[in-house]
Chain A
């Protein structure tokens, strides 16, 4: 079992990495790109047979406290 956590900068937060990559893509000739946002991807291995609902609750807590900073980041958690 795996938990996948995608962390992205909040809309209001300056994302200079995203902006730089966006302009590089434009320079390379890729058109139609209106925004690039760079975040983090965290993969967590869970022991086989882990209760999905309990893991969801625990990892939401962990994502809020440690894995993301709610002041500047949003996160999405998936368990599969």
Chain B
């Protein structure tokens, strides 16, 4: 499978994402933000970092990059798009995902390992995560507090669009396990069509035991499996 990893000025997890995809046996390449097309792509990763210095608002300027038009088209045609950290912020600013990410409630930048509960296996990003598995993955953000108005939250819930929530080691969704004050402990969501997802934690930094956890690989394995099924379906 071919992954396109976007590269904005001040993206800094782009190489990590490429590394993770290659480590897991697939191909990945960087796509510069000024490119107007993605080329041969099976899935897009919008990586973490501080695109455009986080000026104005995180992700606010990146969404107007030429490459984002191509990502929008790719998503409109059902292509899989995963936004990680700053990538999640870019996707909400671009209107590809509902809600917004605001300053952490304690105003601190959090760089630590957290636990994630998968809210539903029913998505291209969660289908291969073993049932009941609590994922241990790092976060590194100052503006990761998920916010959406009540109507949007109700819609997310009704459509099963919340994919991951912050929890403690036993899987309980407690307030102390919530690192940033996100509403309902929300760490990641998908769109209504379920082909675009975003999350604040960094699965790409947790794909090999050397880094302390390989739990993040399950998110990538879910994407690989979805793409494989798609290819088989197309061939049939």
Q: Scan B55-66; emit 1 where CB is below 8 A from any A CB, else 0.
A: 011001100100
Q: Does A77 count as interface, using CB distance less than 8 angstroms?
A: no
List B residues 33-81 near A (Cβ within 8 Å).
56-57, 60-61, 64
Contact between B100 and A71 (Cβ–Cβ < 8 Å)?
yes
Q: Does A23 count as interface, using CB distance less than 8 angstroms?
A: no
- On whether A17 and B148 interact (CB within 8 A), knowing A69-B93, A71-B99, the answer reads no
Contacting residue for A66 out of B64, B92, B100, CB 8 A: B64
User: Taking the nearest CB of chain A, how far is it from the CB of B11, in angstroms?
Assistant: 20
Q: Which residues of A contact B103 (CB under 8 A)?
A: 16-17
Contacting residue for A69 out of B57, B61, B104, B107, CB 8 A: B57
Q: Which residues of A contact B99 (CB under 8 A)?
A: 71
Closest to B107 in A: A16
Q: Which residues of A contact B148 (CB under 8 A)?
A: 71
Q: Which residues of A contact B149 (CB under 8 A)?
A: 12, 71
Contact between B147 and A69 (Cβ–Cβ < 8 Å)?
no
- On whether A69 and B100 interact (CB within 8 A), knowing A14-B147, A14-B181, the answer reads yes
Q: Scan A1-34; emit 1 where CB is below 8 A from any B CB, else 0.
A: 0000000010011101100100000000000000
Q: Does A36 count as interface, using CB distance less than 8 angstroms?
A: no
Q: Scan B99-115; emit 1 where CB is below 8 A from any A CB, else 0.
A: 11011111100000000
User: Taking the nearest CB of chain A, how far is it from the CB of B230, in angstroms?
Assistant: 32
User: Taking the nearest CB of chain A, how far is it from the CB of B198, in angstroms?
Assistant: 14
Q: Does B186 count as interface, using CB distance less than 8 angstroms?
A: no
Contact between B106 and A66 (Cβ–Cβ < 8 Å)?
no
Q: Does A67 count as interface, using CB distance less than 8 angstroms?
A: yes
Q: Does B96 count as interface, using CB distance less than 8 angstroms?
A: no
Closest to B61 in A: A66
Q: 6 new A-B pairs (CB below 8 Å) besides A14-B105, A66-B60, A71-B92?
A: A12-B150, A16-B181, A17-B103, A20-B107, A69-B100, A71-B148
List 11 A-B pairs, Cβ < 8 Å: A9-B102, A13-B147, A14-B147, A16-B103, A17-B107, A66-B64, A67-B56, A69-B60, A71-B99, A71-B147, A71-B148
